[in-house]
């Protein structure tokens, strides 16, 4: 339905704008549309006479008036001008800079609505990309299918016939202040140093004094470091000119220990008045036990460079996930939400079905977080990771927890795991936790050749999860169950854990 002041058609400005022949709308038209869904970027999806429009800030179930900003042949973008009918899930975003900052995308949706949407996002990807059948019954149906012996061929066959159970998203009782790591870009204005997050769709820094998804101490540290740097005359890096010193301030905190690390990412090795800066940080922030510098002189959006050194204090801070202790260095990858990480890994252990007698391979093991969680319940765990420094951290973490039945090796999983097989290592369970791009195709081939009884897939991207599950299903596995886990409340990101078992054909 189109709208203008008289109600007789679209309102257009007097300037000519590009028009694509055959489209029902053009740039600067205003139309009233129903929002029928939300895409993976958190934009509302509506249709004007069959033509798809993406609308930032609109929620499913709403009727909205939008101004068309841009059109392409298949879809366009609109700006939300008026809520004609609001969704029951709409809420007021508590963050004062939410509409400017690009860090969160869903604060205008209540938490129950976020959890439901994230589950639906997983379901949609499984069906659309993976061409997999999702069980239409309530998610509680079949609750015992994984806790029972799902390596049994009958269970696998049942899973294939009934469809995949997709559980409700596991959320947080308090979905705020959950992040243990802050990576704040630094810029400069007439008033001095600014630090915050990039505005949506740009590299313009929105200055921030508080972030409601960060640990409170992270806010304090960033604010103090900015103030100290400004007092000492430290310059901020300029992306356009490549000049200036301070690029990012990275803060890490151990939720369980309270230990904090600051990493100053600089455009060059020399930091003027360094001793004064260190002394001021130590005096004003006594919880900080490590101050590091990372040097990044490249013109890039990547935060870290190759050189990291300790300016003062320890090389690592410590934290716990459950009963497992981890040492975290400046460059270590460590999940940013420790409370939900324990939930995620607990579901991984559950899906692995460990009794204490199994051999487990953890592909993409990183610093050994999942490996060591699994090792509490397995006979033997092998971890493999292509990043040398991560494997060094993994070995150190295994020693820290006195876990002698865990071995780690550097290399690509698709190269190392076949070599292990040649050495006689057989896996009962293979766990994968790949990056957003999903598993390397050769790793999927390797899993099919290894024929473990179970595969547990931990995913940070529903689309590549669905793609890879399709490959494993075509190779003789059945996906029994998937559980989304909300690691990043108020953002569009969703993690999932899936369990697959060998089907009846393979078990003959």
Catalytic positions: 460
On the CB side of 16, how many CA atoms lie within 13 Å of its CA?
3
- 486, 113 Cβ separation under 8 angstroms: no
Burial of residue 111 (CB within 10 Å: 0-12, 13-18, 19+) is buried
Return the closest-CA partner of residue 132 out of 505, 490, 496, 478: 478
How many other CB atoms are found less than 10 A from the CB of residue 274? 15
Query: 235 to each of 225, 267, 308, 404, how far by Cα in Å?
Result: 13, 10, 20, 48
Q: Rounded to the nearest 5 degrees, what angle is found at the Cα of 317, between the Cα atoms of 311 and 322?
A: 170
- 408, 368 Cβ separation under 8 angstroms: yes
| Residue recorded with tokens 């009727």 | 63
- 412, 440 Cβ separation under 8 angstroms: yes
Query: 66 to each of 51, 61, 69, how far by Cα in Å?
Result: 13, 15, 9
- 262, 287 Cβ separation under 8 angstroms: no
> Roughly what angle, to the nearest 10 degrees, separates helices 274-284 and 216-231?
140
| Residue recorded with tokens 């016939």 | 161
Helices and strands counted in the chain (H then E): 10, 22
Return the C-alpha torsion angle 440, 446, 452, 457, nearest 10. 0
Instruction: Give the sign of the dihedral formed by CA 373, CA 376, CA 377, CA 382.
Output: positive
Give the H or E element holding residue 205.
strand 205-207
Return the C-alpha torsion angle 416, 420, 421, 425, nearest 10. -150
25 token code pair: 């709308």
DSSP string, 7-23: SSS----SS-----TT-
- 52, 35 Cβ separation under 8 angstroms: no
456 token code pair: 């547990």
Rounded Cα–Cα distance for residues 366 and 491 (Å): 24
The dihedrals phi and psi of 317, each to the nearest 5 degrees, come to -115, 170
Query: 236 to each of 264, 297, 309, 334, how far by Cα in Å?
Result: 12, 13, 20, 27
């Amino acid at each position: 339905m189109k709208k203008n002041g008289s109600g007789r058609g679209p309102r257009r400005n007097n300037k000519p704008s590009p028009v694509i022949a055959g489209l029902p709308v053009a740039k600067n038209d205003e139309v009233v549309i129903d929002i029928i869904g939300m895409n993976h970027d958190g934009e509302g999806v509506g249709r004007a006479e069959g033509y798809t429009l993406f609308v930032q800030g609109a929620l499913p179930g709403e009727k909205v008036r939008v101004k068309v900003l841009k059109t392409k042949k298949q879809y366009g973008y609109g700006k939300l001008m008026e809520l004609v009918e609001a969704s029951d899930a709409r809420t007021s975003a508590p963050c004062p800079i939410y509409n400017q900052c690009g860090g969160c995308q869903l604060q205008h949706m209540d938490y129950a609505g976020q959890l439901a949407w994230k589950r639906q996002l997983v379901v949609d990807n499984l069906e659309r990309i993976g061409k997999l059948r999702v069980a239409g019954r309530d998610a509680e149906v079949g609750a015992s299918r994984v806790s029972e012996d799902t390596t049994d061929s009958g269970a696998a066959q049942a899973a294939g016939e009934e469809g995949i159970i997709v559980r409700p998203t596991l959320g947080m009782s308090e979905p705020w202040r959950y992040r243990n790591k802050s990576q704040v870009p630094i810029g400069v204005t007439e008033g001095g140093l600014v630090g915050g997050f990039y505005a949506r769709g740009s590299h313009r820094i929105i200055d921030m004094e508080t972030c409601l998804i960060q640990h409170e101490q992270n806010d304090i540290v960033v604010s103090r470091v900015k103030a100290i740097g400004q007092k000492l005359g430290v310059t901020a890096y300029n992306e356009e000119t490549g000049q200036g010193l301070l690029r990012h301030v990275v803060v890490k905190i151990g939720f369980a220990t309270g230990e904090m690390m600051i990493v100053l990412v600089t455009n060059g090795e020399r930091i003027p008045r360094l001793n004064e800066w260190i002394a001021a940080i130590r005096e004003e922030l006594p919880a900080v036990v490590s101050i590091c510098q990372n040097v990044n002189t490249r013109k890039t959006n990547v935060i870290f460079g190759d050189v990291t050194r300790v300016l003062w204090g320890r090389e690592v801070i410590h934290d716990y996930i459950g009963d497992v202790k981890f040492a975290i260095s400046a460059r270590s990858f460590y999940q940013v939400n420790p409370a939900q990480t324990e939930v995620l890994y607990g579901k991984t252990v559950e899906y692995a079905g460990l009794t204490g007698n199994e051999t487990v391979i953890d592909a993409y093991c990183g610093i050994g977080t999942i490996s060591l969680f699994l090792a509490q319940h397995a006979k033997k765990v092998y971890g493999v990771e292509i990043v040398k420094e991560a494997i060094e951290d993994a070995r150190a973490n295994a020693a820290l927890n006195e876990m002698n039945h865990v071995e780690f090796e550097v290399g690509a999983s698709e190269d190392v795991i076949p070599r292990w097989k040649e050495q006689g290592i057989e896996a009962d369970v293979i766990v994968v936790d790949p990056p957003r791009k999903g598993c390397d195709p050769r790793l999927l081939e390797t899993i099919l050749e290894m024929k473990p009884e179970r595969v547990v897939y931990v995913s940070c991207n529903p689309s590549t999860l669905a793609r890879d599950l399709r490959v494993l299903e075509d190779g003789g596995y059945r996906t029994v169950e998937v559980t989304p886990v909300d690691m990043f409340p108020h953002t569009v990101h969703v993690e999932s854990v899936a369990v697959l078992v060998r089907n009846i054909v393979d078990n003959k």
